[in-house]
Amino acid sequence: MAKITNLPIIDMSSPDREFNAKSVRQACVDCGFFYIINHGIDDGLKSKVFDQSNKFFALPDHEKMRVKVNNDYRGYTPTFFENLDPSVESKGDMKEGYYIGPSKDVKSGCYLNQWPSKEVLPFWKETMECYHENMLTLGTKLLSIVALALNLDKNFFENVSALKDPNAFIRLLHYPGHLTTIVDGGYGASAHSDYGMITLLICREKDVLPRLWEDVHHIDGAFIVNIGDMLERWTNCLFRSTLHRVLSVGQERYSVAFFLDPNADCIVECLESCRSEACPPRFPPIRSGDYLLQRMAAAYGLK
């Protein structure tokens, strides 16, 4: 039976920023996961997001495929479209999803998101745009605590332009309730670590976030936060980006992830506070956008 993991709980409303920063640092060094509570995201808004998500995934396949993911990674991804662990031979992960990014692409001036028709889901677009805006505000606030946890100025990520037009994406996820064994390669999401800076996840109350060998308690109203590979790289592996997966256990699941990643032109290189003579940089500098594209291409089998 899986061990139940008790993760640190960060109270976003606490005025004690030093305590929160120390708690985040310890969590990120130990396991790369923690909870946040009193985060300011209204329960009613979260309920609306789940309601709209459920309605979309309940649509007929032909209706969902009208907004199949485009070259800008916006839109619907059908079951088996993605394989988060390319090292394992399988027909893909047993989940369907939907990517929603910033409303407008800064460089092109184009609106890249794809939306179901208003005739089918009249409240979808406004709900998702509202959630994206609120989550970006929360993510920015959380990254100021992460900066303090790294002994940096609280505005570090803004000062290096990471948060100037960041790659911030909602990912709606639906795991069908088909029972498939591990032998069959039947993962809801195969073993993976997230690509970017931070991920904020909410699940339905009956769900948990399964990791490789452990289950994470549900805390009503809380977000589960995990560190991504890019932040691990930025911190010279001080902060851990931990492998996790979702098993297909015969229970239908819904979750909503928010990925907050740097501006595509931001250069990710070892932080001064994370390097020394004894611990030199492990990775060369890389443009954030190039790194994310490499990882996305691998997950989707693109050249």
**Which pLDDT value is given to residue 302?**
53
Residue 299: the pLDDT is 66
33-37 and 9-11 beta bridge pairing: parallel
Q: What is the pLDDT of residue 245?
A: 53
Give bridge partners of residue 255 from the DSSP assignment.
173, 203
**Number of neighbouring beta carbons within 10 Å of residue 211:** 20
* End-to-end CA, the chain: 40
Q: What is the pLDDT of residue 217?
A: 75
* Burial track 119-152 (b if 16+ CB lie within 10 A, e otherwise): eebeebbebbbebbebbbebbbebbbbbbbbbeb
User: Which pLDDT score, from 0 to 100, does residue 101 have?
Assistant: 95
Domains located in the chain, CATH noted: 3-299 (2.60.120.330)
pLDDT of residue 295: 82
For residue 71, give both structure tokens: 């070259």
- CA gyration radius, the chain: 19
One-letter-per-residue 3-state SS of the chain: CCEEECCCEEECCCCCHHHHHHHHHHHHHHCCEEEEECCCCCHHHHHHHHHHHHHHHCCCHHHHHHHECCCCCCEEECCCCCCCCCCCCCCCCCCEEEEECCCCCCCCCCCCCCCCCCCCCCCHHHHHHHHHHHHHHHHHHHHHHHHHHCCCCCCHHHHCCCCCCCEEEEEEEEECCCECCHHHCCEEEEEECCCCCEEEEEECCCCCEEECCEEECCCCCCEEEEECHHHHHHCCCCCCCCCEEEECECCCEEEEEEEEECCCCCEECCCHHHCCCCCCCCCCCEEHHHHHHHHHHHHCCCC
Which tokens sit at 216?
């994470």
Q: What is the pLDDT along the chain (303 residues), one digit of tens a residue?
A: 344 467 899 999 999 999 999 999 999 999 899 999 999 999 999 999 999 999 999 999 999 999 999 988 899 999 887 665 555 555 667 889 999 999 877 566 677 899 999 999 999 999 999 999 999 999 999 999 999 999 999 999 999 999 999 999 999 999 886 645 444 444 444 455 788 899 999 976 544 444 434 566 778 899 999 999 999 999 999 998 876 555 555 578 889 999 999 999 999 999 999 999 999 999 999 999 999 888 877 766 554
- Entry pTM: 0.87
- What pLDDT score was predicted for residue 230? 94
Sheet holding 223-227, edge to edge: 9-11, 33-37, 223-227, 198-203, 253-261, 167-175, 96-100, 75-77
The per-residue pLDDT for 297 is 78
